[in-house]
Structure 1
């Protein structure tokens, strides 16, 4: 179940900052621990930067989610960029093309509870992450 979806453009460096701020605000509202807030904001920052730098810009969609047991946050990053030609390589620990926080997709994936990526060369990339309250 989703509620109060907020969409932000990711087309400038300032937009990356706004995504970080929104994610932090929603993380506090759903009562994520400070450690989990930090993990989620770090992952969101990396993924927003990737959307901007590699995807040529796009959108972030932040929403609260609930299941039977707990609350959490879902963030969807979408771009219409070139896509990821070699997803296995992009998800390899230590792989980077430079410019980001040095986490890469594999680092961002480790910081969240759920990580899903849909990419196709020439059609863009959509990454969905979820962090649940403990």
Structure 2
């Protein structure tokens, strides 16, 4: 079931997506630790939309059996050449970055899938189940 969505087109939208995810996870019954994990992952992945694509969307859905939350990050940016390489801790294409955004986000959630193709954008789905 669809809950909320926000467009990422400005740096301030990163905070909006973070707040939206935190509020939705609170409303679904997640504890403070899981709320913080989800908000942190949302912040990192929203920042990637802003940094690499310039525009995209973040959508939140509730899922059933088992109960949880799914957050979808979509853009029509440059896409990724090699998603496996992009997921390696320390890998970055941004000077000065620690290369922890994607790999760090994956550690904060129960499931993460990436669908990306050069020139066609990226779609990332993260899922966190209620304990």
Match in the other structure for 2:124? 127
Q: SS of the residue aligned with 2:53?
A: coil
Match in the other structure for 1:58? 56
Match runs of 1:108-119 below 5 Å: 108-119=105-116
Stretch deviating more after TM superposition (35-44 or 99-108): 99-108
Match in the other structure for 2:75? 79
Q: SS of the residue aligned with 1:31?
A: coil
Tell me the distance in 2 between the aligned counterparts of 1:85 and 1:40.
26
Match in the other structure for 1:30? 28
- TM-score, scaled to structure 1: 0.90
Conservation of the 8 A alpha-carbon contact between 1:46 and 1:100: no
Conservation of the 8 A alpha-carbon contact between 1:12 and 1:52: yes
Conservation of the 8 A alpha-carbon contact between 1:63 and 1:74: yes
Match in the other structure for 2:12? 14
Conservation of the 8 A alpha-carbon contact between 2:89 and 2:99: no
Q: Which stretches of structure 1, 4 residues or longer, exceed 4 Å deviation after superposition?
A: 98-102
Match in the other structure for 1:104? 101
Q: Output the aligned Cα RMSD.
A: 1.6
Q: How far does residue 71 in structure 1 lie from its aligned partner after superposition? A: 2.2
Conservation of the 8 A alpha-carbon contact between 1:60 and 1:77: yes
Conservation of the 8 A alpha-carbon contact between 1:9 and 1:59: yes
- TM-score, scaled to structure 2: 0.91
Gaps of 5+ in 1: none
Match in the other structure for 1:43? 41
Q: How many pairs does the alignment contain? A: 130
